[in-house]
Structure 1
Amino acid sequence: MWLKIPNLFFAFVIVTALTLGGCAGNAIGSSSTDTNLAVTEAAQKTTDKKPTDSTQAVSVAYNASESFPEMKDLPRLEGKATVVITVGGSPITIELDGDNAPITAGNFVDLVQRGVYNGLVFHRVVRSPEPFVVQGGDPKGNGTGGFIDEKTKTERMIPLEIKPKGAEQPVYSKTITQAPVLEHKRGVVAMARSQMPDSASSQFYFTLADLAFLDGNYAVFGTVTDGMEVVDKIQQGDLIDSAKVTAGADNLKNGGK
């Protein structure tokens, strides 16, 4: 399958499909910033991935607050949580992994509890030339927006958060070349972002196939445990009826801030 062959031709096909399928200038992006290079870089890196000492990853994680000082105030999920997203009257059950992606999962749970996703559109669905992603969560509905905090009147952004296998803590604010704990397997949920690592906000995507070339470049934070057949039927323009936390709400810290 072409997604498993890391060369520039297929990277070009992916970028072209995404650009034409949604807002121009965005790949798996969450702002108006051009993200084509981010996807191209992701595909290229699969040709020369080398294992990195996990202790190096841990040291980077401990220094994360220096590059993203707001991180200590962000919502954080300590453990697991379950969210049910209803589309066209049919439920999609997602298990969120706060053990391996606490900030990313915590941000998502907080937005669900605020009702941010209710009524939002899936603005990008890419199934051709091969199954790729279903993307939504943009309050603007066109792939250029994110969550605006009513208190600060600014867009909340979260750092790129990826935990390498063998590491005790996630790496923040940078892509990695080592294998992550949470891989881009079919049915996972991950955060969209622009070319800048720390630019994810509210946009998320479901993977429609195994997408190993995205590993280490985008933050996976959950898995569809039931209702993948619903995801497979989502069309561009379909709405999220509702999103609700059905378990693990007590594991959210700093929510509502």
Structure 2
Amino acid sequence: MRNLLIAALTLAAGPALATGLEIDVTGEAQGTITVDLFEDVAPQHVERITTLAEEGAYDNVVFHRVIDGFMAQTGDVEYGKEGGDMRMAGRGGSDLPDLPAEFSDRAFERGVVGMARSQSPDSANSQFFIMFDAAPFLDGQYTVVGQVTDGMDVVDSIKRGTGPNGAVIGQPDKMEEVRVIQ
């Protein structure tokens, strides 16, 4: 009876959120980036990222905007697929609705993963970025979703953008596969 009750309570609680991601990167950068996701800080954003990763939406999506000393941005599942129109990369999202901001007191430091958005604080959808260095001007303005725990050497080797606003010209590095880890 006790085991049945525990099983019923577990099912009623719903699925457990992921604890992280493994991102296999190919191109000039080669290797795996491991990210610890902060479901306690940004539960809706973490759920979105894990949903898209589980669906394979992030597979073969490029790092379209990479600014040395600042960040590497990816996650445009609409226009950012390898072989797509890179002139549009960074303008798209998923078919899911935009998310309300989940700002926190977590600082944007080296290795922090944040959600990209437009001018509206409530416009994050699928795109995210990984910090090369600290950027305190982002603190409290963007949603922090996680922290790189392994593979910062891979992040550091992602091809930098040379175009307007850090756009990557030529063949950008890509997330070949993104896996959810428990």
**TM-score normalized with structure 1 length:** 0.54
Looking at both structures, which has the greater relative contact order when contacts are Cα pairs under 8 Å and sequence separation is at least 6? Answer: 2
Change (3 A) 1:206 1:191: same
Gaps of 5+ in 1: 1-75, 150-155, 164-179, 248-257
Determine helix, strand or coil for the equivalent of 2:61.
coil
Superposed displacement of residue 194, structure 1: 0.3
CA contact (8 A) 1:77 1:98 kept: no
CA contact (8 A) 1:135 1:205 kept: yes
The answer to whether residue 175 in structure 2 is matched with residue 240 in structure 1 is yes
1:146 maps to a residue whose letter is G
Determine helix, strand or coil for the equivalent of 1:93.
strand
The answer to whether residue 126 in structure 2 is matched with residue 185 in structure 1 is no
Superposed displacement of residue 82, structure 1: 1.5
Q: Within 5 Å, which residues of 2 pair with 1:50-129?
A: 81-88=19-26, 89-127=30-68
CA contact (8 A) 1:80 1:99 kept: no
Q: Which position in structure 2 is the counterpart of 1:133?
A: 71
Q: Which position in structure 2 is the counterpart of 1:60?
A: none
Q: Which position in structure 2 is the counterpart of 1:27?
A: none
Change (3 A) 1:138 1:80: closer
Determine helix, strand or coil for the equivalent of 1:161.
coil
> Which has a greater percent of strand?
2
Superposition misfits of 4+ residues, deviation over 2 angstroms: 76-80
Among the aligned pairs, what percent are the same residue?
Answer: 41
Change (3 A) 1:183 1:80: farther
Gaps of 5+ in 2: 1-13, 81-88, 160-167
CA contact (8 A) 1:193 1:199 kept: yes
CA contact (8 A) 1:77 1:106 kept: no
Aligned residues: 146
Q: Which position in structure 2 is the counterpart of 1:49?
A: none
Q: Distance in 2 between matches of 1:231 and 1:208?
A: 8
CA contact (8 A) 1:79 1:99 kept: no
Q: Distance in 1 between matches of 2:94 and 2:37?
A: 19
**TM-score normalized with structure 2 length:** 0.76
Q: Distance in 2 between matches of 1:246 and 1:111?
A: 13
Quote the RMSD (CA, aligned, Å). Answer: 1.7
